Amino acid sequence: MPPLDISTISQLGDAIRREPRQIIPSSPCSACSVRHAASYASLTSDDHAHILSIASTRDVNRGQMLFIEGDPAEFLYTVVRGTFQMYKLLPDGRRQITGFLFPGDFLGLADDDVYAYSAEAVTDAALYRYRFKEMGALLTRYPKMENRLLTIASHELAEAQEQMLLLGRKTATEKVASFLLAFAERAAQRGEGRDVLFIPMTRHAIADYLGTTTETVSRTLSRFRHDGLISSPGNNQIEILDRDALCRISE
Q: For the segment 36-92, what is each residue's pLDDT rounded down to a tens digit?
A: 344 555 556 666 666 777 788 999 999 999 999 999 998 989 899 999 999 999 888
In terms of pLDDT, which residue wins out, 76 or 20? 76
Asked if the model's pLDDT at residue 10 lies above 50, the reply is: no
**Which residues 6+ apart lie within 8 Å of 229 measured at CB?**
240, 241, 242, 245, 246
Q: What percent of the chain has pLDDT over 70?
A: 70
Name the band, by pLDDT with cuts 50, 70 and 90, for residue 136: confident
**pTM above the 0.85 mark?**
no
Name the band, by pLDDT with cuts 50, 70 and 90, for residue 185: confident
Distance of CA 29 to the CA centre of its chain: 24
pLDDT tens profile 202-238: 999 999 999 899 999 999 999 999 999 999 998 899 9
Asked if the model's pLDDT at residue 3 lies above 90, the reply is: no
**What does the alpha-carbon distance between residue 205 and residue 122 come to, in Å, rounded to a whole number?**
9
Q: What percent of the chain has pLDDT over 90?
A: 42
What pLDDT shows up at residue 64? 97
What pLDDT shows up at residue 68? 94
Per-residue pLDDT, averaged over 149-174, amounts to 72
Per-residue pLDDT, averaged over 150-176, amounts to 74
Could you give all domains of the chain from N- to C-terminal order, each with its CATH number? 45-157 (2.60.120.10), 170-250 (1.10.10.10)
